[in-house]
């Protein structure tokens, strides 16, 4: 079967040769790779459930805190979303942003532990994006409120019962002023 | 033009179908981005003023060019031009238009710090790279073959790696990963999906069906009949991921890659 043989030779042979000659060890700045990662397709879809980040927001009135709410409410299924699903794709992009933020937080804590951290968490680009995401969602759900707070938490799937998950708080923001 | 499902398919026919289908995919993706413009303007979330400092890692002229193109107003202009170009290539597949679609797709990926929608952006870029090369060098048969082959190989790889990774993951092999994903979608709960996710036997069977389908997908290159069957299953698979997970873009991006795959499946005849 020449085409299939050629296919698997390319699939397994090229990474093998790269590893053998250590071509993959060339020093390329991580941030550049991150920004250009569309050129390096990762086909690892739905790899494992693991930790799923979630964003919660709450209203703050005169120092009193309201109940926590999901910042990214689920959307309804509809046949028209086959062609255009802007809200769904926004939620997917927001979920991906939360994953990146979680990863940046872990990197930041790692650097902090080694005394190499440069600046505060609030200076991270992903922190600022998540803060704007929280404020944007809060303004939509509470148009008249003036102050809010957000937190990042993770849902961790139970090993024995996959339908149950534990919620861990990861980061709590200061109280933020909401500009209309 | 008829889509000759089980009859010989020339490289020019494959290229023509790929051009039309990727045009449709990019057109729909661009409308969605324009619908989301309030999310990336200067009062939204993905503000250029927040993002631009990450781009200072590029050489100064590159940064200046990106700063010019990715600011809100100019980026909206890029999106409108992309909308027009993608609609045009469906009927007039001019090489310059494909090069512009390729460039604008790279700009969109950069604007979202790597990708906007992960896998569908990867596949859109792969198809656009292949189709741009084949359209620019349309008169050179070996280049057309190489470009269509590149799309076909990446398509098979996309399924094979996804399946192989799942097969290596114990939670997938035991049918425990699927219920977790089914309960963490962007959609409201659905009684049918809820009952499926509670049934261990169905979850185990569905998990292995996905693993076998994805790992077996490269066999599409063996012969055209098998390729048609796998393309049909692939279509149903992406329809399912749209219904369950809301991944509508994946369906159109992968559909655009199928003509190249079908053409390559008949090469060894």
- Residue A54 domain flag: yes
Find the residue in A nearest to B199 (Cα). A163
Name B199's Cβ contacts closer than 8 Å, sequence gap at least 6: none
User: Which has the closest alpha carbon to A85: A76, A73, A97, A72?
Assistant: A76
Counting Cβ atoms within 10 Å, is residue A173 exposed (0-12), middle (13-18) or buried (19+)?
A: middle
* pLDDT of amino acid B6: 61
DSSP B91: T
E strand or H helix that includes residue B250: helix B248-265
Taking CB atoms and an 8 Å limit, are B110 and A162 in contact across chains? Answer: no
Kind of pairing, strands A147-157 and A165-172? antiparallel
Pairwise CA distance, residues B146 & A18, whole Å: 22
- Residue A68 domain flag: yes
pLDDT < 70: residue spans in chain A: 1-29, 159-160, 162-164, 180
Q: What are phi and psi of A72, to 5 degrees?
A: -115, 85
- The tokens 């679609």 sit on which residue? B101
Q: For residue B169, which residues of chain A lie inside 8 Å, CB to CB? A: 47-48
Pairwise CA distance, residues A9 & A20, whole Å: 15
DSSP A83: T
Distance to chain A for B25, nearest Cα, Å: 9
Reading chain B (269 residues) residue by residue, the pLDDT tens digits are 445 456 678 999 999 999 999 999 999 999 999 999 999 999 999 999 999 999 998 999 999 999 999 999 999 999 999 999 999 999 999 999 999 999 999 999 999 999 998 899 999 999 999 999 999 999 999 999 999 999 999 999 999 999 999 999 998 999 988 888 888 888 887 888 888 888 889 999 999 999 999 999 999 999 999 999 999 999 999 999 999 999 999 999 999 999 999 999 998 76
- Residue A49 domain flag: yes
Task: Count the domains in chain A.
Answer: 1
Residue A108 structural domain: 30-177
Residue B72 touches partner A, C-beta closer than 8 Å = no
* pLDDT of amino acid B109: 95
- The backbone region for A147, taken as left when phi is positive above 0, alpha when psi lies in -120 to 50, beta otherwise, is beta
Kind of pairing, strands A69-70 and A64-65? unpaired
- Residue A24 domain flag: no
Name A8's Cβ contacts closer than 8 Å, sequence gap at least 6: B218
User: Which has the closest alpha carbon to B13: B231, B229, B225, B259?
Assistant: B259
* pLDDT of amino acid A26: 46
Pairwise CA distance, residues B218 & A9, whole Å: 12
Token pair, residue B13, equals 């026919």
Token pair, residue B17, equals 């179908």
* pLDDT of amino acid A36: 84
Residue A38 touches partner B, C-beta closer than 8 Å = yes
Q: What are phi and psi of B61, to 5 degrees?
A: -65, -35
* pLDDT of amino acid B182: 86
* pLDDT of amino acid A44: 83
Residue among B50, B183, B242 whose CB faces A128 most closely: B50
- Residue A15 domain flag: no
- Residue A60 domain flag: yes
* pLDDT of amino acid B166: 95
Residue B106 touches partner A, C-beta closer than 8 Å = yes
Q: What sign does the CA torsion over B47, B50, B52, B55 have?
A: negative
E strand or H helix that includes residue A153: strand A147-157
- Residue A25 domain flag: no
Q: What sign does the CA torsion over B112, B118, B121, B125 have?
A: positive
Report yes or no: A145 and A178 within 8 Å, Cβ to Cβ. Answer: yes
Distance to chain B for A113, nearest Cα, Å: 24
**Model ipTM over 0.85:** yes
Pairwise CA distance, residues B100 & B92, whole Å: 14
Pairwise CA distance, residues B32 & A81, whole Å: 10
């Amino acid at each position: 079967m020449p085409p299939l043989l050629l296919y698997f030779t390319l699939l397994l042979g090229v990474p093998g040769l790269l590893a053998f000659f250590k071509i993959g060890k060339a020093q390329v700045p991580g941030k550049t790779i991150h920004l250009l990662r569309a050129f390096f397709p990762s086909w690892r879809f739905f790899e494992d459930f693991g930790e799923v980040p979630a964003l919660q927001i709450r209203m703050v009135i005169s120092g009193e805190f309201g109940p926590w709410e999901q910042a990214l409410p689920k959307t309804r299924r509809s046949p028209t979303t086959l062609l255009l699903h802007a809200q769904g794709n926004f939620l997917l992009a927001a979920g991906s942003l939360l994953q990146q933020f979680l990863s940046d937080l872990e990197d930041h804590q790692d650097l902090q532990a080694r005394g190499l951290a440069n600046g505060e968490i609030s200076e991270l680009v992903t922190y600022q994006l998540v803060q704007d995401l929280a404020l944007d969602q809060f303004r939509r759900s509470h148009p008249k409120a003036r102050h809010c707070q957000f937190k990042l938490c993770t849902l961790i799937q139970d090993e024995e019962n996959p339908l149950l998950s534990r919620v861990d708080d990861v980061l709590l923001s200061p109280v933020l002023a909401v500009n209309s | 033009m008829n889509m000759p499902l089980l009859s010989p398919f020339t490289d020019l026919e494959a290229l023509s179908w790929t051009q039309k289908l990727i045009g449709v995919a990019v057109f729909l993706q661009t409308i969605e981005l324009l619908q989301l413009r309030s999310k990336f303007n200067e009062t939204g979330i993905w503000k250029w003023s927040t993002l631009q400092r990450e781009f200072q890692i590029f050489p100064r002229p590159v940064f200046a060019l990106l700063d010019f193109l990715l600011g809100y107003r100019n980026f909206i202009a890029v999106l409108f031009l992309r909308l027009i170009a993608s609609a045009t290539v469906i009927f007039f597949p001019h090489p310059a238009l494909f090069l512009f679609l390729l460039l604008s797709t790279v700009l969109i990926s950069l604007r979202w710090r790597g990708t906007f929608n992960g896998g569908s952006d990867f596949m859109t870029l792969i198809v656009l790279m292949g189709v741009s090369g084949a359209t620019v060098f349309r008169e050179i048969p070996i280049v057309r073959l190489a470009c269509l082959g590149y799309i076909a190989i990446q398509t098979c790889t996309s399924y094979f790696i996804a399946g192989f990774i799942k097969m290596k993951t114990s939670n997938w092999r035991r049918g425990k990963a699927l219920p977790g994903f089914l309960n963490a979608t962007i959609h409201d709960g659905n009684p049918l999906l809820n009952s499926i996710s509670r049934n261990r036997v169905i979850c185990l069977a569905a998990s292995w069906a996905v693993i076998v389908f994805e790992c077996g997908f490269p066999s599409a290159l063996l012969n055209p009949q098998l390729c048609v069957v796998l393309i049909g299953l692939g279509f149903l698979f992406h329809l399912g991921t749209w219904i369950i997970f809301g991944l509508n873009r994946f369906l159109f991006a992968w559909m655009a890659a199928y003509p190249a795959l079908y053409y390559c499946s008949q090469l060894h005849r």
